[in-house]
Structure formats: C-alpha cells, structure tokens
Amino acid sequence: MLYFLYEHLYSPDSVFSFLRLFRYLTFRIIYAMLTAFLISLILGRPIIRWLKEKNIKDTSREEVAVIDSSKKEGTPTMGGILIVLSTLIPAVMWCNLSNRFVQIIIFSTLWFTIVGYYDDLIKVKFKNKKGLSIPQKLFAQFVFSFGLGILMISDYSPLRQTITNATLLNVPFYKYPVLDLGWFYIPFVIFVVIATSNAVNFADGLDGLAIGPTVLTILVFGVFSYVFGNMNLSQYFQFNYIKGAGELSIFCAAVIGAGVGFLWYNAYPAQLFMGDMGSMTLGGIIAVLAIMIKQEVLIVLAGMIFFIEALTVFLQMISINYAGRRLFFMAPLHHTFQKRGIAEPKVVIRFWIVALIFALIALSTLKIR
C-alpha cells in the first residue's frame, strides 16, 4: 500500500520526495518487522480478553496431562489470529502488492489460516480433541499444494516466467542442482507442504517452543529471499537471480515481528496458545517460501527442530505398530525431556539453542557450496 504511494506520488522536487524511502527493501524490511511487533503487542491483550469472554480455551493439550493441569487448563487458544493479523497488516502496508510472490504468500497464509481455524473450532466448540480428521486436513493441504505445484511448472504461469528451471532440485552445500524432477515436482511440492505444515504443529507443545524456531527459520528464508532477489548478491553467491523474490523478505520480516510479539504472550507461563490456526499457518508459510525460492531441502536444516519432532512421532508410530513397543518415552521428543523431569522453560530454551545453531548452519550454505 505504501509502496503504491511511492509509485504514484513520488517526485524528486515535490513535497512527497521522502517517499523515495519506500523504494528501498531494507527500509521496508525494518519497518515491516517493527510494525508487526507493535501491532502484536497492541492487539494481544484485547484478543486474549475476547477469547476468554468467548470461552475459547484449550483443554486438550498433551502436556496438560504431563505436568500440572492447573497451570495450563483453560488458557485461551486460537492465538494464531494474533500472528496472522500482525503479519498480514504490515505485509499489506509495506509490500509491493502487485508482486506475484507477495500475492501467493498472502493467499497461502489465508488458506492455512482458514484450515487451522476450522480445526481449532471443532476442538473448542464440539469438544473434539482431534479437530478436523486426518483425511480432511490432508485434503485441504493437498488441494493447495497441488495448485502451487501447477503454478511452479506450468508454462502459462507467471511464476514459471520468473523462476527458471523450477523442477530442478537443489540441496544445501552443493552448487549445482542434483536432479530434474520434471512432472514429479508436483508430488514433491505436495510432500513438502504437508510435511512442513504438520511438523510445526508437532512442535507446538510447550510454551514458546514452536514460535522460537519458527522465527529463526523464517529469518533464514528471509535472508535467502533478499539475496536471490538482488541481482548483484545472487551473482556474488552464484545463485540464480529470481526477479521480485526480494519482496518476500519484507513478508518474512512481518512474520518475525509478529512472532516475537506473540512470544511476548506465549512465553512461559503462556497467556495464549497459537493453536492449529497458528502452527499450521506458520508451517505452510515456511513451505511456500522454500518452494518459491527453490530451497525446499533447506527446510530440513533451517527447521531442524521441526524435522526432529516430526521424525520422533513417525518413528514412535512405526515402533508401536510393528515392534509393539515405544522407541521414545513420549513423542514428540520435547515430552520425553519434560517427562524425565527437566523444567519446561529449560527444555524450550535448549530447543531454541539447537534451532539457532542449525539456522546459522543453514545461512552458511549461502557461501559454503
């Protein structure tokens, strides 16, 4: 919105000459992040109060049964609405809304927000701890990811005109694509979206646990987006230049600001849980960002905490179904540490440290190739 003011009102000799600031990505990145953080702080308490008045409270989290239900039971959920509002408002303000990447990431956010909303609504309104059934969730995620896959490889798609060699698979630490997936790129996109959106959901189990690694992962993809969208930087680091991808870094900054603002209320002891409306949306955002800048495999490195949490759940299911015994004391992994008597804040902080280490390693792949 503000970028349009620059396009239509800016003149070097006019009273609107200050609008030239909106031309610079770095300026808009900084203020998108600050705007998101401030909006999150301002809206946080009214949203928490409104959720309490509507009796939208969490009574089904697994960790409630692990330690002390008196500390967790009844905490407002569906805090994803705070994250989404604090992200989309600055995104609309500071991004170039005519940019295809921005349009897709905003649509993606809305799609996963709606799916997560209905999932939380069923849990809260109908007291159904499972929310949407697994087939219903997978279908919603499949429809979106299938459409995104088509957009990425179709010759008639505007994305295809911007992203060259969209079907090539890149891996961290290796300079050249390792494989051309061709039409198999569509099922690959489906897998990436479904796996990532659900992996973040698995990590949403302790106060502040999911949002910390999410902010770090988004930061990684924000840096990559900025580099790939800058012709000089992309050439320096020997990556393909992706025209317009730099606008995604502004959206990433908004997510980071919103995430830090949400953490203000989600830090132990949490006043607000993000719910599936938040975790599924954030997971979807990470997946779509990675896909659009052609760094799908980097999700494993940048979001290692999510990968580990999801892997422990998967291995636990396999072990129980085929070996008849538990591989871990509890899954996802954070519950194992908590059940063994490690205080919740300590578990969360240690997971953050691990997430930071892997985020730094992921950033190093810009140069180490």
The CA-CA-CA angle for residues 292, 24, 108, to 5°, reads 30
Task: Specify the pTM.
Answer: 0.93
Mean pLDDT of the chain: 89
pLDDT value for 5? 65
Beta bridge partners of 57: 76
In the predicted structure, residue 65 carries a pLDDT above the cut 50: no
pLDDT value for 8? 60
pLDDT value for 69? 46
Mean pLDDT is lowest, of 10-24, 63-77, 167-181, for 63-77
Task: Give me the residue spans of the domains in the chain.
Answer: 27-364
What tens digit of pLDDT does each residue of 127-159 get?
777 788 889 999 999 999 999 999 999 877 777
The residue ranking higher by pLDDT, 203 or 74, is 203
Share of the chain above pLDDT 90, in %: 65
Average pLDDT of the residues in 48-73: 67
| C-alpha to C-alpha distance for 158 and 144, rounded to whole angstroms | 17
Say if residue 276 carries a ligand binding annotation.
yes
What tens digit of pLDDT does each residue of 103-114 get?
999 999 999 999
Confidence of residue 71 (pLDDT cuts 50, 70, 90): low
At 97, the amino acid letter reads: L
What tens digit of pLDDT does each residue of 282-316 get?
999 999 999 999 999 999 999 999 999 999 999 99
Confidence of residue 47 (pLDDT cuts 50, 70, 90): very high
pLDDT value for 104? 96
| C-alpha to C-alpha distance for 27 and 23, rounded to whole angstroms | 8
Alpha helices in 128-207 (DSSP H): 134-153, 158-162, 185-203
| C-alpha to C-alpha distance for 166 and 151, rounded to whole angstroms | 10
Say if residue 201 carries a ligand binding annotation.
yes
